[in-house]
Amino acid sequence: MTKLPVRLSMWLARRRARLSAKAARSERPDGGIGAEAPIRTASEDRLRRTDFAGRIAAVLSELSLREGRVFAIRGGWGFGKSSLKNLITERLDDTSDGADWLDFNPWQWGDSNAIARALFGQIADRLGGEHSKAALARAEALRRYGAILSGAGAPLKKAGGSSHLISTVLTNASVFAVASAISFDLPTVAEVAATLALLAVCTPLLGRVLSHLGRDRGSESLDKIREALEARLRELDRPLVVFVDDIDRLEPEQIRLLLRQVKANANLPNIVFVLLFQPSIVERALDPVADSKGRAFLEKVVQASFDLPAVPVSIVHRIFEKELSALAGPYATEANGFSQMRWGNAFIGCIQPLLRNMRDARRLISSIAVHMPLHVADSVFEVNVVDFLLLETLRVFEPDLHEALFRERELLLQESRIWGNSQRDADKAAAERLLEIVSVERRDIARSVLKDLFPPLEWAYGGMNYADGFHLRWLNEKRVCSPRYFPRYFELQTAVGEVSERCFVAFLDATATEEGLAAAIADIEANHLLPSLVARLDESVDRLPIENAAVLLPGMFEIAQKLAGLYAAVPFNSPWLSAWRATHWFLKRIPEGVRGGLALAALRQTKALSVAAILIHLSDPADMKEDKDSFDPALDLETVEAMKTEWLRLMRDRAIDGDALIAEPDLMSQLYRWGKYAGSLDEPCEWMVEAIRTDEGFASMATRMMSRGMSHSRGDRVSTLYYSFNKETIADFIGIDVAKARCDAIDPDEFPEHEEALRTLHSVLELWLGLRERTPSDL
């Protein structure tokens, strides 16, 4: 092939490569979730490294007619080595006399032999061009090169580890590949390659054979080939720069072989290697073959190094905050627990120290971007935004500690807090063990994070002790330190049976109209979430819209009435308790001028006797037998009397339909209240006589009057269900003797639905009348 076609072919190859690189740079950069891709153009440079890249590009473009050079770009993981490389190649392409370049990433090629084949194979491709006979010769050269390298690699390791021998073979193999790629005809290479491949399988004495073959069959021809190749490379009008990236990701053995390849071929004219790596990793990989002097060995390979310009962490922090604002800014509201002061303290004290470089920043941003949507429903953020960001920081940088938090709920929330010295000492020791999960240098940061996230445990780290009054505040702020929200942060979804924040916000919005509120209540009830809803109403009464009181108060009456008599396992925190308590506190927030009228109207509209009775009781001076100084009624006396009158009217109307009244969930309490408001028990007793006139009626009333409970004795692993009756209630409304006579006259088997109640009533009546002795089961 004449010189002109070769030059034309190489010019076409160079043009194609530059157009391909330009097209890649013009693609929209990947800034999505998990993106850690380096920047590709100067327009993306936020670290002001473009000028530095330009100076390096000028150095790399200098022709070297005698021999090639080896440079290094050094820096830690995540500090921008690949980004700087891309800025350099952009400048090389934009400069008319800039060097040609090749980007080689050894990490994607697998084992050492494959890396070596790929490296010089790509160099051969780059020098060979695209539109000449060299393409066929190049393909043949790659086959020969692969045969030589794969045949020699394994036995070389067994031949005594001679670095001189390895370098000789690698140099010869590289010369074959590169020379063939630029159109040298080497008929003896195939013979050498076949011989080497055969000997690699057949004999353990390959090292000696290699020496023999190199001396007797290849020395003279290789010298001639090398001289001709070097002459051809000196004719290049610009050098070829080979960027070898991600060296520090390789295995130590791969690093050593790659650097031997580079060192053995570093003296070819106009071939410039630029190695990108973290020095400490590569030096450690070289120590075993350099008598623990890996740094000195590396200095013999690399002629000059370009260290990454220092990036002030303040720039990293500023870029992170800008990206975070774009991602989470819409949720940085007071409703989501955001305050500038708390966020500033959390960011400076807990997050900033962990963001050392742009890779750290991108990792955290990506984690936030992945997990944030799981806490968002219809633009409502389900948790506290600052707590969420702090926990994501732990998830990324201290995953073991993050995982431990969910297991240590009782410790973190101090739910079983006992202020005895032994308990405090045990909790403090457990809190310190949490910190031991992280490295020593990061424990102060971890301590700051835990104190910020979990104030109940702050005392264990030398901080404050918080009174119980803070728990309601943490609850309203959707903090991770509140029992209701704690699982939400880790399970990444609303717990079964809980009203989500989105659902609660939708409920509040629905209170603007009666139709909207009715639909919202029906939907929540259909999903069996009324108990959770009233708990939220009780906890978040300050969020309830006063301006919608005319609609919301009747709705709260209706909800409470649906839960009347419904007690949970913890009677002091039952759905019924939460329902009437939330209604009472909401009523107190309504302006006094309209409060009474709205309460009376709500009773008339809903006929909710149970909740109305509680509200009357809480505002009736006659019911305040103790602690009168703390008496703070929601309703004035006039409204109380008006509500009593309305309550009696509704009760008497309901009594006309015996089945309607007997279905009241808290029937016996209502009967006593009827008698109190009416001035005597005559009316409710008359109603009772009529209600139990038939055996069916008496059996049904026995069921309504029977109480159910759970007993648990020492040593029991499960609780036992028990039934009981109140003697005073039976005496007041039926009479002990009358009840006994009716029980004697009724066969419980005839009323399977009420059999348990009838038998239990008969048993306790005999006990009350002294007709039998008390037994252990009566206890």
Q: Quote the mean pLDDT of the chain.
A: 81
Q: Specify the pLDDT at position 548.
A: 97
Q: Specify the pLDDT at position 2.
A: 47
Section 1-27 average pLDDT: 53
Q: Specify the pLDDT at position 718.
A: 52
End-to-end CA distance of the chain: 111
SS3 102: strand
pLDDT tier, 419 (very low <50, low <70, confident <90, very high otherwise): low
SS3 629: helix
Q: What pairing do the DSSP bridges indicate for beta strands 304-307 and 100-104?
A: unpaired
Section 44-68 average pLDDT: 82
Q: Report the distance separating Cα 421 and Cα 751, nearest Å.
A: 58
Q: Is the pLDDT of residue 202 over 80?
A: no
SS3 129: coil
**349: DSSP letter:** I
Per residue in 264-288, pLDDT (tens digit) is 777 788 889 999 998 999 999 999 9
Q: Which residues contact 713 (CB under 8 A, 6 or more apart)?
A: none
Q: Specify the pLDDT at position 188.
A: 47
Cβ atoms within 10 Å of 452's Cβ, excluding its own: 19
359: exposed, middle or buried (C-beta count within 10 Å: 0-12, 13-18, 19+)?
middle
Paired strand residues for 277? 74
Supply the DSSP string of 26-51, one letter for each residue.
Answer: HSPP--STT--PPP-SGGG-SS--HH
Encoded amino acid at 237, one letter? D
Section 532-539 average pLDDT: 91
Q: What percent of the chain has pLDDT over 90?
A: 47
Q: Is the pLDDT of residue 717 over 60?
A: no
pLDDT tier, 576 (very low <50, low <70, confident <90, very high otherwise): very high
Section 565-587 average pLDDT: 78
Q: Report the distance separating Cα 328 and Cα 388, nearest Å.
A: 11
Supply the DSSP string of 531-564, one letter for each residue.
Answer: HHHHHHHHHTGGGS-GGGHHHHHHHHHHHHHHTT
Encoded amino acid at 25, one letter? R
Encoded amino acid at 76, one letter? G
Per residue in 141-165, pLDDT (tens digit) is 434 434 444 444 444 344 334 445 5
Section 743-748 average pLDDT: 94
Q: Is the pLDDT of residue 198 over 70?
A: no
Q: Is the pLDDT of residue 388 over 90?
A: yes
Cα 628 versus chain centre, distance: 51
Q: Report the distance separating Cα 94 and Cα 21, nearest Å.
A: 11
Q: Report the distance separating Cα 12 and Cα 6, nearest Å.
A: 10
Element (H, E) at 710: strand 707-711
Encoded amino acid at 52, one letter? F
pLDDT tier, 659 (very low <50, low <70, confident <90, very high otherwise): confident
Element (H, E) at 711: strand 707-711
Section 27-40 average pLDDT: 57
Element (H, E) at 707: strand 707-711
Helices (H), 620-694: 637-656, 658-662, 667-678, 682-691
Dihedral (CA of 35, 277, 303, 172) sign: negative
Q: Is the pLDDT of residue 36 over 60?
A: no
Q: Report the distance separating Cα 36 and Cα 557, nearest Å.
A: 56
Higher pLDDT, 230 or 314: 314
Paired strand residues for 242? 102, 273
Q: Nearest-5° angle of CA 609, CA 615, CA 616?
A: 85
pLDDT tier, 469 (very low <50, low <70, confident <90, very high otherwise): confident
104: exposed, middle or buried (C-beta count within 10 Å: 0-12, 13-18, 19+)?
buried
Q: Specify the pLDDT at position 210.
A: 45
pLDDT tier, 4 (very low <50, low <70, confident <90, very high otherwise): low
Q: Specify the pLDDT at position 237.
A: 80
Among residues 146, 154, 161, 226, which one has the least CA distance to residue 193?
Answer: 146
Q: Specify the pLDDT at position 478.
A: 93
Read off the tokens for 135.
């393409």
Q: Specify the pLDDT at position 582.
A: 95
Q: Is the pLDDT of residue 22 over 70?
A: no
pLDDT tier, 126 (very low <50, low <70, confident <90, very high otherwise): confident
Q: Specify the pLDDT at position 181.
A: 54
Q: Specify the pLDDT at position 632.
A: 86
Among residues 57, 66, 70, which one has the least CA distance to residue 99?
Answer: 57
613: exposed, middle or buried (C-beta count within 10 Å: 0-12, 13-18, 19+)?
buried
CA dist 142 to 103, 119, 135, 136, 137, Å?
Answer: 18, 11, 11, 10, 9
Q: What percent of the chain has pLDDT over 70?
A: 77
Higher pLDDT, 150 or 682: 682
Q: Specify the pLDDT at position 77.
A: 73
Per residue in 282-307, pLDDT (tens digit) is 999 999 988 889 899 898 889 888 88
Read off the tokens for 551.
């609609």
Q: Where are the beta strands (DSSP E) in 239-339?
A: 240-244, 271-277, 304-307
Q: Are 269 and 64 in contact (CB under 8 A)?
A: yes
Q: What pairing do the DSSP bridges indicate for beta strands 376-377 and 380-381?
A: antiparallel
407: exposed, middle or buried (C-beta count within 10 Å: 0-12, 13-18, 19+)?
exposed
Q: Specify the pLDDT at position 628.
A: 64
Q: Specify the pLDDT at position 99.
A: 87
Burial pattern 4-20, b for ≥16 Cβ within 10 A else e, equals eebeebbeebbeebbee
Q: Which residues contact 90 (CB under 8 A, 6 or more apart)?
A: 21, 25, 40, 41, 42, 53
Encoded amino acid at 711, one letter? S
Q: Is the pLDDT of residue 235 over 70?
A: yes
Encoded amino acid at 740, one letter? K
Tallying the residues shown for the chain, one arrives at: 779
pTM for the whole thing? Answer: 0.61
Q: Report the distance separating Cα 496 and Cα 484, nearest Å.
A: 12
Higher pLDDT, 421 or 256: 256
Q: Specify the pLDDT at position 161.
A: 44
Q: Are 129 and 10 in contact (CB under 8 A)?
A: yes
Residue 202, φ and ψ in degrees, nearest 5: -90, -25
